[in-house]
Structure 1
Amino acid sequence: MLKLIKNATVHDPKYIGVKDIMIDSQSIIAIEDNIECDHSFVEMIDATGQLAVPGFIDSLVHITGGGGEGGFTTRTPEVNLTDLTKAGITTLVGALGTDAVSRTLTNLIAKTKELNELGLSCYFYSGSYHLPATTLTASVQSDIMLIEECIGVGEVAIADHRGSQLSYNELARLASDSRVGGMLSGKSGIVSIHVGDGPENLKVINEVVDNTDIPITQFLPTHMNRNQALFDAGINYVARGGYIDLTTSTTPEFLKEGELKCSRALKQVIDKEANLSHITFSSDGHASLPSFDESGNLAQLEIGKETSLFDEIRDAVLIEDIELEKALAVITSNPADILKMKRKGRLKVGYDADIVLLDKERLVIESVFSRGRTMILSGEVKCQGKFEQGVTR
């Protein structure tokens, strides 16, 4: 059945006015001032007083769980469908992290396929924190080229005691492999880089950019709001033409220690007149959020939350007074462009029907549609994973 969303205030993410949106089984087929149709063949959704915005893109989620830095009892669980849809996320990228032994790429691709079958658009990164890169085929290049859902490699750890302490030659070789795989398959071939709190921060990436022909846009360093010094280095990196990603999941302890809240970091980006189109947010959902003491021992562990992604957008608008379209861009059009996700990140005819309806005044999620499928309607979950608690079989 066709769906017709009536009287929505539409942000593309740019504001385009009060419109009706017609969607079929997967795509947006019309956005007009007033669409008339035979109601007997169309599901009508009244969006008066609501904002229609693109479904959110989360470029880093540990969909098969993460953690383990404190032993086997600290391994975080797999993500559920509703962890994502309740957060307005319709497109995401899964990744491994510290643990690439008990967490495997075969499990990662199986979870990716599960989320796609449930109606989301899920991709994954080959590799993990460590080198040599873990792959499904002979190499990162062939993983990206031959596996449809694989769009890059990561998250590769630098400036972190848990990483492989890779040299710039090793990173250059990995980035070249990923870049060629992307070129041959029409994908981004992006290298997602986990940046720790080590003093060298972006040094190894800058060495690759300075000493090779690999463009700076081949890298997407994340966790760049970890502290002010790293964030400032990120702003300089953006000035060189690079992309940076800010992590929305945090803890009160991290913020006390100097981590920048994403909404405030976005305000700094705008005040510094940095290139906003080169900035993205990701949740780092279902990752462990570990704190270590001075000896490198685990002191505390929490879990990343996908809901933090939109929470920070909401705070950016309501607390930091950032224009809605600028705030939305970092979780819609920007990641879609950087990761070369076709038909994603915007509300346009011919694009996938990934739509979130927000209460206009409170900026809370009311309804979520992913590739035309109703995930949440007026606050009620309509689609769950097969084994989620309370699911009707």
Structure 2
Amino acid sequence: MLKLLKNGEVFAPEYMGKKDILIADGRIAAVEEHISLEANPYIEVSDMSGYIITPGLIDGHVHITGGGGEGSFKTRTPELMLSDCIMGGITTVVGVIGTDGTTRTMANLLAKAKGLTEEGITCYCKSGNYHVPVKTLTGSVETDIIFIQEIIGSGEIAIADHRSSQPQEHELARLASEARIGGILSGKGGVVTIHVGNSPTKLDLLEKVVKSTDIPISQFLPTHINRTHELLEAGINYALGGGYVDLTTSSSSGQVNDLCASKSLKKMLESGVPIGKIMFTSDGQGSLPRFDNKGNFNGLEIGKVISLYDEVRNAYLVEGVPLEEALRVATANPADILKLPSKGRIQPEKDADLMIIDESAVINGVMSKGKWLMKNKEHLVKGTFE
């Protein structure tokens, strides 16, 4: 069935004004000021007057199979559910493994990614986990990326963290080289997500690799940059030097503080960082462990994918970031950085992944690949076991 969305205010994420959007075969067929089609039973027409239409959000860092375990087996966090994504306007997810690369396997990650795609959104994943050498599906990161459709890069590889394998400069360079070659040969991004911890070394190792090799700075995506004030400053300098940075939207108890992603985005923009260098991701379903200054575990919470839209909304409504820039960090930017050519924008030939919000920026509808997952705040689709 063709779908025609009429009279919506379109942020693509760039502001386009009031437009009609025609959707066919799961993709955007046309975006015009006025599209007129003769009424027939094969066309579903929806009046979007009073609503804003944006690209569906891309969450580039989610522990889709669960994460954690830093406090023993009972603290392993649960898998991602489809409804969590729908509630947060998320139509594309990238799954990762974190600390636990032993009981959380690449086979399980890939199976979960395929399952989420079958349920209605689009899910990719990355090869490896915190530790180097990485545990892959086929025996190498390069081969994983080349031959496994869903695998688009590597990570998250941990540095500056007591839970990392303390990788050396040459090890990180070799890994990035494998991911880069895999991406080049398969038409994928091959981006390496770098988990950055609390260590005072911050981004030092990453900067050494970039300076001492021919690997471009764009091959890396350091995440959790808003973990500390010192790391945020280092991230600003890194981005001003041409690198991409990722701000994490999940925080303990969902509390708002001066390091939340929305405030950190505003600070980065005020510091001169180009908007195209910044991403938001949720770290959804990942554990948010607390350690004392001796590295002893003393509790954890769970990251939520809904935090992605919450912080996009806060950037716009609370911090005064223009809506198109607030949207970019979770739509067009991750599509560009991770090289997802069919995602992140409202344009002909792109996937019809859309989010509908009202004038108060509350989510009213979500469409993925031309299918309504939520409409008029009603969930039309749920996960298989929900």
**Same topology, TM > 0.5:** yes
2:192 is matched with which residue?
A: 191
1:33 is matched with which residue?
A: 33
2:145 & 2:259 partners in 1: Cα distance? 33
2:333 is matched with which residue?
A: 334
2:255 & 2:55 partners in 1: Cα distance? 30
2:170 & 2:207 partners in 1: Cα distance? 12
Please tell me the residue identity of whatever aligns with 2:263.
Answer: R
2:76 is matched with which residue?
A: 75
1:270 & 1:202 partners in 2: Cα distance? 20
Give the TM-score normalised by structure 1.
0.96
1:272 is matched with which residue?
A: 271
Asked if the contact 2:291–2:298 (Cα under 8 Å) also holds between the matched residues in 1, the reply is yes
- CA deviations on 1:77-133 (whole Å, 9 max, x unpaired) are 001111111100001100001111111110100000011112211100000001110
Asked if the contact 1:92–1:122 (Cα under 8 Å) also holds between the matched residues in 2, the reply is yes
Percent identical: 52
Which aligned pairs between 1:132-143 and structure 2 lie closer than 5 A?
132-143=133-144
User: What displacement does 1:38 show?
Assistant: 2.7
Please tell me the residue identity of whatever aligns with 2:312.
Answer: I
1:39 & 1:270 partners in 2: Cα distance? 47
1:25 & 1:185 partners in 2: Cα distance? 25
Please tell me the residue identity of whatever aligns with 1:42.
Answer: I
1:119 is matched with which residue?
A: 120
SS of alignment partner, residue 230 of structure 2 = helix
2:104 & 2:139 partners in 1: Cα distance? 19
Asked if the contact 1:8–1:51 (Cα under 8 Å) also holds between the matched residues in 2, the reply is yes
2:124 & 2:254 partners in 1: Cα distance? 32
* Pair 1:350-2:349 in alignment: yes
2:189 & 2:252 partners in 1: Cα distance? 32
User: What displacement does 1:298 show?
Assistant: 1.2
2:287 & 2:154 partners in 1: Cα distance? 20
Asked if the contact 1:285–1:305 (Cα under 8 Å) also holds between the matched residues in 2, the reply is yes
2:295 & 2:205 partners in 1: Cα distance? 22
SS of alignment partner, residue 97 of structure 1 = coil
Asked if the contact 2:280–2:330 (Cα under 8 Å) also holds between the matched residues in 1, the reply is yes
Asked if the contact 2:10–2:54 (Cα under 8 Å) also holds between the matched residues in 1, the reply is yes
1:391 is matched with which residue?
A: none
1:313 is matched with which residue?
A: 312
Deviates more, 1:22-31 or 1:284-293: 22-31
- What RMSD in Å do the two structures reach over aligned CA positions? 1.2
2:326 & 2:161 partners in 1: Cα distance? 30
- In structure 2, the CA distance between the partners of 1:253 and 1:85, relative to structure 1 (3 Å rule), is closer
Which aligned pairs between 1:12-31 and structure 2 lie closer than 5 A?
12-31=12-31
User: What displacement does 1:295 show?
Assistant: 2.1
1:255 & 1:172 partners in 2: Cα distance? 36
User: What displacement does 1:138 show?
Assistant: 2.1
- Counting matched residue pairs gives 385
1:237 & 1:36 partners in 2: Cα distance? 49
Please tell me the residue identity of whatever aligns with 2:130.
Answer: Y
1:261 is matched with which residue?
A: 260
Please tell me the residue identity of whatever aligns with 1:138.
Answer: G
Please tell me the residue identity of whatever aligns with 1:95.
Answer: V
- In structure 2, the CA distance between the partners of 1:253 and 1:92, relative to structure 1 (3 Å rule), is closer
Which aligned pairs between 1:45-64 and structure 2 lie closer than 5 A?
45-64=46-65
Asked if the contact 1:100–1:134 (Cα under 8 Å) also holds between the matched residues in 2, the reply is yes
SS of alignment partner, residue 366 of structure 1 = strand
2:232 is matched with which residue?
A: 231
Which aligned pairs between 1:37-186 and structure 2 lie closer than 5 A?
37-40=37-40, 41-186=42-187
- In structure 2, the CA distance between the partners of 1:234 and 1:72, relative to structure 1 (3 Å rule), is same
User: What displacement does 1:255 show?
Assistant: 6.3
SS of alignment partner, residue 372 of structure 2 = strand
User: What displacement does 1:252 show?
Assistant: 5.2
Runs of 4 or more above 3 Å deviation: 252-256
SS of alignment partner, residue 3 of structure 2 = strand
Asked if the contact 1:25–1:373 (Cα under 8 Å) also holds between the matched residues in 2, the reply is no
Asked if the contact 1:5–1:44 (Cα under 8 Å) also holds between the matched residues in 2, the reply is yes
- CA deviations on 1:142-196 (whole Å, 9 max, x unpaired) are 0001111100000000011111000111100100111111111111100000000
1:18 & 1:165 partners in 2: Cα distance? 52
User: What displacement does 1:308 show?
Assistant: 0.4
- CA deviations on 1:15-59 (whole Å, 9 max, x unpaired) are 111011111231001111121113322112111110000010010
1:11 is matched with which residue?
A: 11
Give the TM-score normalised by structure 2.
0.98
Asked if the contact 2:119–2:384 (Cα under 8 Å) also holds between the matched residues in 1, the reply is no
1:383 is matched with which residue?
A: 381
SS of alignment partner, residue 39 of structure 1 = coil
**Match among 356, 364, 367 for residue 366 of structure 1:** 364
Deviates more, 1:43-52 or 1:57-66: 43-52
Asked if the contact 1:120–1:371 (Cα under 8 Å) also holds between the matched residues in 2, the reply is yes
Asked if the contact 1:122–1:149 (Cα under 8 Å) also holds between the matched residues in 2, the reply is yes
1:297 is matched with which residue?
A: 296
